[in-house]
């Protein structure tokens, strides 16, 4: 492979670059430069991802990385092509598709409203969230803290979100095993936020719309920590609602507070969506129908085939399915003290998945 090289001067406006070039105290700004491998015009090109691992060839080597400085609004408009493609319309803001100059695809969450306490706290919280890494969390790449615009920039997941998948034709090909694996993925991400982060991170707005799937159909949680940016979390005079209808914790609604058990409640609703294929809220001409209200009398019938998504065509291990239904019921109990911790939920879901896998190996009632 043939390469040509381009040298960039980091004394230029940092907003013109996708990467930051930190300066050493021993070097003057004009003396610091970084050499980056770029594809020639006449070959297939090199892997741009390598840029993130290239090292400046100087004493005191510095690793290239996505910049810690915020994106300016003008750059946000450029990478989203003036916010032309809406991926998700959410309660706290819309998510737009974008692409950085190096081709990296991103999802840009733009808040409808935000705290009036200024940018210092927003920047601090955004930088803290950038340090959170787990295989079941969507990576946060950057942020915008303009006077009139606050936004978070995430890595784009090209598998779509869970709500889109469950409401589309793709869900018809999802086996019970695949649904359980997605539930385990989400529970693992939530368990990490609750128990492995210091301080613990409460999601505060967990829903099927912010569970994203990558090209391998691995589930990742987005918008984690978003509640920390909401005016209800930061201001004494809130102006915006917090949370998504259908996922609100009834113990705290309408006060828009949340805790770990609130996240568990929202997770229980998502689990019921995976089980039934139904959305958290079905819009009606006269009134909306909430999934939990619809589910409760059906679960009491003890007829598992009335509960499970018809598109599964009965192809599931009954014991595995019941275990998932029972833990979803526990997650959605009226008060937090009645609900299990997400670590307990994860353990039960792993058992349910193991049952399903064992039934496949034994060629029992499931034929794939």
Q: Residue 34 forms beta bridges with which residues?
A: 8
**Sign (positive or negative) of CA dihedral 360, 273, 224, 204:** negative
The number of residues in the chain equals: 368
Distance CA 175, CA 353 (A): 12
Distance CA 278, CA 280 (A): 7
Q: Is residue 145 a contact partner of residue 119, using CB atoms and an 8 Å limit?
A: yes
How far out from the chain centre does Cα 153 lie?
11
Q: Which residue has the tokens 């598998």?
A: 159
Q: Which of 145, 205, 249, 309 is catalytic?
A: 205
**Angle of CA points 1, 215, 133, to nearest 5°:** 90
User: Comparing C-alpha atoms, which of 197, 319, 190, 348 is closest to residue 261?
Assistant: 190
Q: What is the DSSP letter of 76?
A: H
Q: DSSP per residue over 111-158, as a string?
A: ESS--SS-HHHHHHHHHHHHT---TTBPPEEEEEE-SS-EEEEEE--T
Active site residue 205: yes
Q: Which tokens in the block code for residue 326?
A: 């029972």
Q: What is the DSSP letter of 20?
A: E
Q: What is the DSSP letter of 55?
A: B
Q: Is residue 123 a contact partner of residue 116, using CB atoms and an 8 Å limit?
A: no
Please name the residue ranges forming H helices in the chain: 73-79, 119-130, 162-167, 176-195, 231-234, 260-276, 291-300, 304-307, 318-331, 342-361
Three-state DSSP class for residue 324: helix
Known catalytic residues are 205
């Amino acid at each position: 492979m043939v390469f040509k090289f381009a040298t960039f001067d980091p004394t230029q406006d940092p907003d013109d670059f996708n990467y930051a070039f930190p300066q050493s105290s021993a070097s003057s700004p004009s003396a610091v430069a970084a050499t980056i491998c770029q594809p020639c015009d006449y070959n297939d090109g090199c892997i741009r991802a390598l840029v993130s691992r290239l090292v400046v060839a100087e004493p005191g080597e510095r690793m290239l990385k996505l910049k810690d400085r915020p994106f300016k609004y003008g750059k946000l408009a450029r990478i989203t092509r003036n916010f032309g493609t809406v991926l998700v319309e959410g309660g706290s803001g819309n998510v737009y598709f974008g692409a950085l100059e190096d081709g990296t695809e991103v999802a840009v969450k733009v808040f409808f409203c935000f705290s009036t306490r200024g940018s210092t706290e927003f920047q601090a919280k955004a930088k803290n969230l950038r340090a959170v890494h787990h295989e079941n969390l969507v990576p946060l790449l950057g942020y915008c803290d303009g006077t009139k615009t606050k936004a978070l920039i995430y890595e784009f997941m090209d598998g779509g979100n869970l709500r889109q998948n469950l409401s589309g034709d793709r869900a018809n090909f999802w086996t019970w095993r695949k649904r359980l694996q997605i539930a385990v993925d989400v529970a693992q991400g939530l368990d990490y936020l609750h128990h492995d982060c210091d301080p613990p991170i409460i999601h505060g707005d967990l829903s099927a719309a912010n569970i994203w799937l990558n090209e391998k159909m691995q589930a990742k949680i987005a918008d984690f920590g978003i509640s920390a940016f909401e005016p209800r979390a930061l201001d004494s005079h809130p102006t915006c609602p917090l949370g998504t209808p259908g996922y609100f914790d009834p113990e705290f609604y309408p006060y828009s507070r949340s805790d770990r058990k609130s996240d568990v409640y929202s997770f229980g609703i998502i689990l019921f969506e995976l089980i039934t294929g139904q959305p958290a809220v079905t819009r009606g001409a006269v009134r909306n129908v909430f999934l939990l209200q619809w589910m409760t009398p059906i679960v009491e019938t003890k007829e598992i085939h009335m509960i499970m998504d018809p598109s599964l065509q009965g192809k599931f291990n009954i014991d595995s399915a019941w275990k998932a239904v029972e833990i979803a019921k526990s997650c959605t109990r009226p008060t937090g003290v009645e609900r299990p911790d997400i670590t307990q939920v994860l353990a039960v879901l792993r058992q349910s998945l193991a049952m399903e896998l064992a039934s496949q190996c034994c060629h029992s009632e499931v034929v794939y």
